[in-house]
Amino acid sequence: MWTSPPPAYSNQDIRTDVIQVLRGASQVSLKWNYMKPSSWNVQLLRTEFTVNNDLIGSLIHSTGKTSISDWQDYQTRFSISQSEVATLILNNVTGRERATFQCKVVMRNHFSNPWFLSTKIFVDVTGKDHIKH
């Protein structure tokens, strides 16, 4: 179950929280928290991050391995925390980060189809661009 941001009410109505981030900020963490159902013996636990429905990258929890897509400059713009549950790090905030970011957790046990949790954060970038003369 999601603990932060608050959970979606249904698969069709995914809640979107809004945060304001100052343009030029670095190492900004977008954090999602969830709890695994205590009755589940999880065989697969994967966290996926997207921006405007494009896959940024994922974390495989059993190995701690992260992968970030090699396009749209994602490997420079983003990183994934291996020490926090579900944290996407914006490395240097520009106008391109004014977008909707989504975290999707995929769990599977021996006896069921995969179980998905998903919530979104909209990053509202504030402040003016700094123009060098």
Q: Find the domain containing 55 and state its range.
A: 15-35+42-122
pLDDT band at 9 (very low <50, low <70, confident <90, very high): very low
Residue 95's φ and ψ, nearest 5 degrees, are -60, -25
Rounding to the nearest 10 degrees, give the CA dihedral for residues 29, 35, 40, 41: 50
Give pTM, 2 decimals.
0.81
In the chain, how many domains are there? 1
Asked whether residue 72 is assigned to any structural domain, the reply reads yes
**C-alpha distances out from residue 104 to 32, 51, 125, 131, Å:** 9, 11, 23, 36
- The predicted-structure confidence for 17-30, as pLDDT tens digits, reads as follows 899 999 999 999 99
Asked if residue 7 is part of any domain, the answer here is no
Residue 131 located in a structural domain: no
| Mean pLDDT, all residues of the chain | 83
CATH, residue 104:
2.60.40.10
- Specify if 5 maps to a domain: no
In a domain, 74, yes or no: yes
